[in-house]
Structure 1
Amino acid sequence: MTWIDLGNPTPKCLSTPYQPVDWATGAIQRLPAGSAMSTPPLLQVLEERRSVRDFAPLEDMGLANFLWYACRSHDTWASELGYELEYRASPSAGAIHPIHLIMKRPEDPRWWLYEPRGHFLAELTAAPLRLNGLWEQSQQVVSAPQATLILFLAEPGKTLAKYQNGCSLIWRDAGAQLATMALAARAMKLNFCPLGVTGEPWAGSLAEQGQLVGVGLALLGRAP
């Protein structure tokens, strides 16, 4: 067995201010706030959660509701790190939240960045060319052309600005976000399936300075 030792994360005595990625974006799609809905109790959701690999397309309101409850920022505040800290449904080391969500919807060639602080989608103009191979790889893992494909894209510099040996924290952040989304999908009667691939080498090509790295994929949709 080969085990990669990522070290023991510790807060730095002096943080290193970090300038976040400057995204090249096009169209903006504003999303409505989540609507009230009746959902099962949490303990029932925990009992019923399963990965499901059959999908029908998810309408815009369904996606907006899912992102509102599972992924949006509830609050933000300034920090000395060069970017805002956030409170979301999923836990994050230092309230940093270095995981971005990039998604491709069925029949739409564009890829969209979810902005949790404003609850909207921003078109990533360079993504169709750079992520085409990633879409093809995801379909080889699970053929699901009617699902929304979600890329978990880490920005390590955010976490490493505060933590020494912080790489394991980034993977744990990705896992926490994934679990939160899986439980929210079950509660909303949506189908959700994590994929084992990371998204590399395509994901990292979205930033010229090597600031981004893929840390997972997932599929989301309605039950057929």
Structure 2
Amino acid sequence: MWPAASVGAAINTLRSTMSSDTTWLPLGTPRPRGEVQRYLEHPWRHAKELKLPVPDGHDQVMSLFAGRRSARCFDAPTLGSLSALLWSTCACQESAETSLGFAIERRGAPSAGAIHPVHVLLCDPAESRVSRYNGKRHALQLLDVAWPHDLIESCRSVVPSDTAWIVLFVAEFGKTAAKYEDAFSLILRDAGVLQGVMAVAAEALDMSFCLLGLTGDPWVSSLSEEGKLRGVGAALLGSRA
């Protein structure tokens, strides 16, 4: 169970808004139903079908995607593999100053308006410490926060592992809302794109990676007293066991 104080803080932050005209909608905690619901797919009607040729000459790319799987076994990640994964997906390659109050960036993963509002936090279970990846400095910066015991246990209840690092995707939604009206869907799309790119990069680097249904809230929301942060995903990461 989440501590009452944490739940209360989360409820208060969910009442806040991203800007005067954009409201953050609660994402809940996705989890399997006790009993599945039967669903009939939409019946697409087409007049003609064009068969595509079998891909040729792209063996390396094809094998990468054909071999990608969500992992269930993990060893602790090495510093070198972490560096390669974060460099290829989240490192700042170029930046430009703007009137938004912060710089826009070019990174390996695309983002609406080159804003990149999704931060990556990494929880190291061996040291019980939480770090944020700083893409401009290509560095892990240790956060002065308490170890999120309840959140870690929730992640482990989905995929048991004492050695995997927990990756938290944290949206600073006001950044996107500063430029776009109705920014909510853009932020969720940014989070999904980053998670997908990271999954493929992990496969290319021979790492174990598994996305979870958890968002990271209410713990993530509690990191900002001003209500600027929301959890938009979690994953387990490690070396191949």
Determine if the TM-score, normalized by the shorter chain, exceeds 0.5: yes
Q: Determine the structure 2 residue equivalent to 1:133.
A: 150
| 134, 139, 143: which one aligns with 1:115 | 134
Structure 2 CA distance for aligned equivalents of residues 155 and 41 of structure 1: 36
Structure 2 CA distance for aligned equivalents of residues 127 and 106 of structure 1: 13
| 194, 201, 204: which one aligns with 2:221 | 204
| 81, 97, 104: which one aligns with 2:100 | 81
Q: Determine the structure 2 residue equivalent to 1:214.
A: 231
| Identity within the alignment, % | 42
Q: Determine the structure 2 residue equivalent to 1:150.
A: 167
Structure 1 CA distance for aligned equivalents of residues 180 and 207 of structure 2: 36
Give TM-score, length-normalised by structure 2.
0.74
Gaps of 5+ in 1: 1-5, 7-39
Once the two structures are TM-superposed, the CA of residue 100 in structure 1 deviates from its matched residue by 0.2
What one-letter code is carried by the residue in structure 2 that aligns with 1:111?
V
| 64, 73, 82: which one aligns with 1:54 | 73
Structure 2 CA distance for aligned equivalents of residues 127 and 207 of structure 1: 14
Deviations, residues 83-107 of structure 1 (Å, cap 9, x unaligned): 0101011110000000000001231
Structure 1 CA distance for aligned equivalents of residues 145 and 74 of structure 2: 27
For the pair 1:187 / 2:204, whether they are aligned, the reply is yes
Structure 1 CA distance for aligned equivalents of residues 88 and 61 of structure 2: 14
Deviations, residues 92-149 of structure 1 (Å, cap 9, x unaligned): 0000000000001231111000001110011110242xx2321121111111111111
Secondary structure at 2:240 match in 1: coil
Structure 1 CA distance for aligned equivalents of residues 172 and 129 of structure 2: 21
Higher-Rg member (1/2): 2
Structure 1 CA distance for aligned equivalents of residues 227 and 151 of structure 2: 17
Deviations, residues 18-72 of structure 1 (Å, cap 9, x unaligned): xxxxxxxxxxxxxxxxxxxxxx822221221111111011111121121111221
For the pair 1:94 / 2:113, whether they are aligned, the reply is yes
What one-letter code is carried by the residue in structure 2 that aligns with 1:76?
S
Once the two structures are TM-superposed, the CA of residue 166 in structure 1 deviates from its matched residue by 0.5
Once the two structures are TM-superposed, the CA of residue 199 in structure 1 deviates from its matched residue by 0.7
What one-letter code is carried by the residue in structure 2 that aligns with 1:166?
A
Q: Determine the structure 1 residue equivalent to 2:193.
A: 176
Gaps of 5+ in 2: 1-24, 26-58
Matched-pair contact (CA < 8 Å) for 1:127–1:206: no
Structure 2 CA distance for aligned equivalents of residues 144 and 166 of structure 1: 35
Give TM-score, length-normalised by structure 1.
0.79
Q: CA RMSD in A?
A: 1.3
| 92, 96, 103: which one aligns with 2:122 | 103
